[in-house]
Amino acid sequence: MMLSVLLKHLDHHRVILASQSPRRFELLRDCGLCFEVIPSSFEENLPKEQFPTPDRYVLENAKQKALDVLNRVSHEKQAHSKLSTIVIGCDTVVVLDGIILEKPEDEEDAFNIGGMNNPHLFYEKTSLLFGHLEPEDIRAYIATGEPMDKAGAYGLQGQARCFVKEIHGCSNNVIGFPVQRFCQELKYLASRNEM
């Protein structure tokens, strides 16, 4: 199914991105998707140690973000009420040696780090291999401010790209949203008439 067919299929839905990430916004916009942004107010304070794997943790965070927004908009009495709603909840953490790394709390943390009714959940895993980094390279990168709002304290779409030696998987996933996998999942849902 072509992307244009999927996008036409979504015309009969209210599509909401439950994120204020400019990277996720750009990636979805560049696909031609018509959507609105309603950032989730979910606190993202789930205890990581209660999840058997990082994928379970990230899926639960994404689900809670989507449910938070869905609960808020389900009380609205607007023209949207005739449309079914699709809420896109996302979360990105980085896992290094089994430890989940999220957005750094401060510059020192960034230095030490060196990703409903019938919910449909999926996750996409991407592995990166960084080249050797000297402490002065890391400090110079942190001084740009770029890593401070990113899981794992680096931005593949920015200056940190020069640190990455290998990528295995979807590079858009590292930037903030697995566009190809999202389209694949939409195609699957459309083929089963679940949208």
Given phi > 0 = left and psi -120 to 50 = alpha, else beta, which region is 173?
alpha
Cβ-contact 62, 37 below 8 angstroms: no
Question: Which of the 8 DSSP states describes residue 160?
Answer: G
Q: What angle do CA 187, 192, 193 make, to 5 degrees?
A: 95
Number of H helices, E strands in the chain: 7, 7
Which amino acid is present at 3? Answer: L
Closest CA to 16 of 41, 40, 38, 42: 38
Closest CA to 6 of 25, 27, 32, 24: 32
Q: Which of 30, 55, 68, 91 is catalytic?
A: 91
Based on the residue annotation, tell me whether 91 is a catalytic residue of this protein. Answer: yes
Instruction: Check the CA dihedral 109-43-146-176 and report its sign.
Output: positive
Backbone torsions φ then ψ of 35, nearest 5 degrees: -155, 165
Active-site residue numbers? 91
